[in-house]
C-alpha cells in the first residue's frame, strides 16, 4: 500500500504555532474514567485548535485486553480532529502485551502521525526531531508560492544535503522539536529506593549531534523545544533553588544519577523549554540556565492524582521569528489558567485550588 505524504508543520500566517501537550492519559480500555479522559482531550482540541498534539508518555496502562487498540484510541483523538500528532513513550506504554516497536510501527502508518522510531544506534524507540517551517506569509514575502515545500526535511540530519543555492525557492525552517524516549531502565546498581527512572547517556550524545547537524543544515541555531516522559534531575533542582510557578504535590521521580542530557541542552543553546509528565500531581515550571523546565497537566482519569488537582492539558505557543514561548493550562471544565501561583525556594508546596 502506498504511504501518504505526511503533512508539513508550519507557522500560521498570524505567526503562531500552537501545541497541546497531553500527559499520562493512562487509557485502560473502556472504563468510565477512560471515557472522561477521551472527552477531555476532545474538548481541549475543540477549544484550542492547535497545530500539533504531543502525547508525552503513558498513553495507556498496558493492562487491558488489547494495548494496541487502547493506544490507537488515544491518538485517534487528534487524528479525528484533523490535527497532526507526535508522541513519546512512558514507562507504562509497553509494560505488558506489546512492545514500543510494535506500537511505533502501528502508528507510523497513520497519515497524521509525525512520530518516528529514530536511529537504531540510540537506545529506546522514538528519539527523533520535527521541524516547524516558516509561515506561508513569510514565504510569500520571499516570493515562494504556497505548496512549494522543497525543504529537504526528510533526509536524516547526519546526512546533510548540499548547501542551498542563494535565491533558490526553499521554505525556511523556523523551529525544531526534539523527542526523547526516556525509558525507565536504570542499571540495577543505580536503582535506589525502588526508583528505576533513567535516561541513558546516549540520549545526550544523540541530541548534541542532532542539534549541531540541524544548525549546519539550516544555517542558524533555531529555537527548540524538547518532549519526554520522565523529568530530568534538574526538575528537582529548579524547584529547590529557583522561583517556580505551579504545584509540586508529588515527588519528583527523576533519575537519581545525572546522565548529562540537560547539560547538553545548555551547551547547545537552542532548547528553550522541556515538557514532561510522569508525576501526576505536579504541573509547575521554572527556569534554570536559560531553559524553562515544564511539567504538563495530567490528562487521564485512570491515574492517581492529588485530591483537588483537576485534570487538563498544557498549551504551548511559539511565535515565528522570536525566541521564547507562551504557555498556559486548559482544565477539564474548559477554563484556562494563564497565571500559576509563584513558589519560592524553601516555601511549602501549595495545595491546589479552584484556580488550578
**What is the bridge-based pairing of β-strands 325-331 and 85-88?**
unpaired
- CB-count burial class (<10 Å; 0-12, 13-18, 19+) for 63: middle
Q: What's the pLDDT score for residue 183? A: 86
pLDDT, one tens digit per residue, over 111-157 is 999 999 999 999 999 999 999 999 999 988 887 665 555 554 444 44
Show the 3-state SS of 206-240.
HHHHHHHHHHHHHCCCCCEEEECCCCCHHHHHHHH
The answer to whether residues 148 and 169 touch, using CB atoms and an 8 Å cutoff, is yes
User: 3-state secondary structure string, 144-187?
Assistant: CCCCCCCCCCCCCCCCCCCCCCCCCCCCCEEEEEEECCCCCCCC
- What element of type H or E holds 19? strand 16-22
Q: Is the pLDDT score of 184 beyond 80?
A: no
**DSSP of 40-56, one letter per residue?**
HHHHHHHHH--SEEEEE
> Does the structure show a pLDDT above 70 at 317?
yes
**Closest listed residue to residue 126, CA positions, set 186, 184, 178, 185:** 178
In order of 11, 57, 73, 84, 303, the CA distances from 6 in angstroms are 16, 22, 20, 9, 33
Q: Do the Cβ atoms of 93 and 100 come closer than 8 Å?
A: yes
Q: What is the pTM of this model?
A: 0.91
Q: Is the pLDDT of residue 190 over 70?
A: no
What are the two backbone dihedrals, phi and then psi, of residue 67, each rounded to the nearest 5 degrees? -60, -30
pLDDT at 238 over 50: yes
pLDDT tens track for 278-302: 999 999 999 999 999 999 999 999 8
Distance, CA of 43 to CA of 46 (rounded, Å): 5
Residue 266 has pLDDT above 80, yes or no: yes
Q: Across residues 19-29, what is the average pLDDT?
A: 94
* CB atoms near residue 191 (< 10 Å): 14
Q: Mean pLDDT in the chain? A: 88
If one counts every other C-beta atom within 10 angstroms of the C-beta of residue 317, the result is 15
Predicted pLDDT at 171: 82
What would the mean pLDDT of 174-184 be, rounded to a whole number? 94
At residue 224, the pLDDT reads: 98
Mean pLDDT score, 70-79: 97
Provide the angle, in degrees to the nearest 10, between the axes of the packed helices 100-108 and 67-80: 30
pLDDT band at 182 (very low <50, low <70, confident <90, very high): very high
Which is it for the CA torsion 275, 277, 280, 282, positive or negative? negative
Q: Greater confidence, 286 or 193?
A: 286
Amino acid at each position: 500500500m502506498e504511504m501518504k505524504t505526511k503533512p508539513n508543520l508550519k507557522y500560521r500566517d498570524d505567526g503562531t504555532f500552537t501545541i497541546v501537550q497531553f500527559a499520562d492519559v493512562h487509557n485502560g480500555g473502556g472504563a468510565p474514567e477512560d471515557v472522561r479522559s477521551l472527552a477531555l482531550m476532545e474538548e481541549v482540541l475543540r477549544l484550542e485548535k492547535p497545530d500539533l498534539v504531543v502525547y508525552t508518555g503513558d498513553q495507556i496502562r498496558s493492562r487491558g485486553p488489547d494495548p494496541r487498540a487502547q493506544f490507537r484510541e488515544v491518538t485517534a483523538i487528534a487524528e479525528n480532529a484533523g490535527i497532526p500528532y507526535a508522541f513519546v513513550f512512558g514507562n507504562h506504554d509497553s509494560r505488558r502485551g506489546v512492545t514500543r516497536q510494535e506500537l511505533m510501527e502501528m502508528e507510523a502508518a497513520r497519515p497524521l502521525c509525525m512520530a518516528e522510531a529514530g536511529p537504531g544506534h540510540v537506545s529506546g524507540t522514538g528519539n527523533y526531531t520535527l521541524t516547524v517551517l516558516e509561515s506561508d506569509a513569510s514565504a510569500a514575502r520571499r516570493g515562494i508560492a504556497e505548496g512549494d515545500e522543497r525543504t529537504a526535511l526528510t533526509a536524516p540530519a547526519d546526512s546533510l544535503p548540499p548547501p542551498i543555492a542563494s535565491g533558490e525557492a526553499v521554505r525556511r525552517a523556523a523551529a525544531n522539536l526534539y523527542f526523547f524516549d526516556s525509558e525507565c531502565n536504570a542499571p540495577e546498581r543505580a536503582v535506589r529506593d525502588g526508583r528505576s527512572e533513567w535516561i541513558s547517556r546516549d540520549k545526550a550524545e544523540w541530541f548534541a549531534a542532532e542539534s549541531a547537524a540541524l544548525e549546519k543544515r539550516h544555517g542558524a541555531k533555531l529555537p527548540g523545544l524538547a518532549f519526554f516522559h520522565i523529568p530530568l534531575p534538574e526538575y528537582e533542582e529548579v524547584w529547590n533553588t529557583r522561583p517556580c510557578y505551579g504545584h509540586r504535590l508529588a515527588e519528583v521521580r527523576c533519575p537519581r544519577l545525572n546522565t548529562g542530557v540537560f547539560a547538553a541542552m545548555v551547551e547547545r543553546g537552542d532548547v528553550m523549554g522541556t515538557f514532561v509528565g510522569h508525576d501526576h500531581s505536579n504541573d509547575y515550571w521554572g527556569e534554570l540556565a536559560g531553559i524553562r523546565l515544564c511539567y504538563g497537566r495530567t490528562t487521564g482519569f485512570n491515574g492517581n492524582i492529588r485530591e483537588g488537582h483537576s485534570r487538563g492539558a498544557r498549551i504551548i505557543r511559539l511565535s515565528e521569528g522570536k525566541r521564547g514561548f507562551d504557555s498556559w493550562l486548559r482544565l477539564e471544565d474548559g477554563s484556562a489558567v494563564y497565571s500559576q501561583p509563584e513558589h519560592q525556594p524553601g516555601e511549602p508546596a501549595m495545595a491546589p485550588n479552584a484556580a488550578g
